[in-house]
Amino acid sequence: MSEQILNNTGFGAEVSFESRNRVLRNTYWLLALSLIPTVLGAWLGVSTGITKAFMGGWMGIVVFMGGAFAFMYAIEKTKNSAAGVPVLLAFTFFMGVMLSGLISRVLGFSNGPSLIMTAFGGTAGVFFVMASLASVIKRDLSGMGKWLFVGAIVLMIGSVIGILVGSSAAMIAVSVAAIGIFSAYMLYDLKQIIDGGETNYISATLSLYLDIFNVFQSLLSLLGIFGGERD
C-alpha cells in the first residue's frame, strides 16, 4: 500500500530517477578508475614481454578466455559486496596485460605512439556519440540485446578462426565487425542504465568496459594494419 501511495504522488518516480542517476554516476567514476589498472597492466606486459611466451595459437586463446571468464564469474559473485570493486579492477589489470601484445606490435612501427593515441581518441569519440544517443533516444532498446549477443558469439568464433588461420583479411573483417557490434552494445548498455534496466554499477561498469576495450582493440588493430609505418 505504501509503495502504491508513493507512486501515485510521484515521489516513487523521483526516487527511481535519482537511483538511475546514481548508478550512472557511479558507473562513470568506476569506469574512469578502471582505466588506471588497464594502463598499468599494458605497461607491465610491454616492458616485460610477459605475453610473448604464450600469446598466439591455442595457448593464447586458452589463457585469455579462461582468465577473462573466471574474472567475470568472480565479478558476478561479488558485485553486491565490498570485494566487487577490487575484483573488477584486478580484471581490468589482467585485460591490460592481455592487450600488451597488440600494443607491443604497434609500438614497433615508427608512428606507433600516434596510432595508439588515435585509437584512444577514436574510442572516446564513439563513447561520446553513444552516450549522447542514449540520453536522447526515447525508444526501448532492450530488444537489441539478443541480437547483439548472437553477433558477439559469431564474432568470437570468427576471431578464434582468424587467429588460428593467421589470415589478415579475416582479422580485418573481424575488427570492422567488432567496432560495429560493440559500439551498438555501448549504446544498448548505456540505455539500460538510463532506463533503470541495470541497477548495479559494478555490472554496468563491466559491460561498458568490455565495449570500450573491444572497440579500442579493434581500432588499434586496423590502424596497425593500414597505418603502420616502418623506419
In tens, the pLDDT along 60-113 reads 778 888 889 999 999 999 999 999 999 999 999 999 999 998 999 999 899 999
What is the arithmetic mean of pLDDT over 209-219?
A: 96
Has residue 184 got a pLDDT over 90?
Answer: yes
Give the whole-angstrom CA distance, residue 226 versus residue 231. 15
Q: What is the pLDDT of residue 13?
A: 42
- Of 158 and 10, more confident: 158
Q: What is the pLDDT of residue 7?
A: 36
Has residue 3 got a pLDDT over 50?
Answer: no
Has residue 26 got a pLDDT over 70?
Answer: yes
Give me the domain span that covers residue 168.
2-227
- In sequence order, what are the residues at sequence separation of 6 or more whose Cβ sits closer than 8 angstroms to the Cβ of residue 146? none
The reported pTM is: 0.88
What is the arithmetic mean of pLDDT over 160-179?
A: 83
Residue 72, exposed/middle/buried by CB under 10 A (0-12, 13-18, 19+)? Answer: middle
16-20, 116-120, 150-154: segment of lowest average pLDDT: 16-20
Number of domains in the chain: 1
Has residue 160 got a pLDDT over 80?
Answer: no
Has residue 56 got a pLDDT over 90?
Answer: no
Instruction: Identify the top-confidence range among 42-56, 68-82, 147-161.
Output: 68-82
151 in Cβ contact with 181 (< 8 Å): yes
Has residue 169 got a pLDDT over 90?
Answer: no
Q: What is the pLDDT of residue 55?
A: 60
Contacts 24+ apart (CB under 8 A), 28-36: 30/85, 30/88, 30/201, 30/202, 30/205, 31/205, 31/208, 31/209, 31/212, 33/89, 34/88, 34/89, 34/92, 34/205, 34/209, 35/92
In tens, the pLDDT along 126-148 reads 999 999 999 999 888 888 888 99
Has residue 11 got a pLDDT over 70?
Answer: no
The phi and psi torsions of 111 (rounded to 5 degrees) equal -105, 25
Q: How many CB atoms are located within 10 Å of the residue 216 CB? A: 23
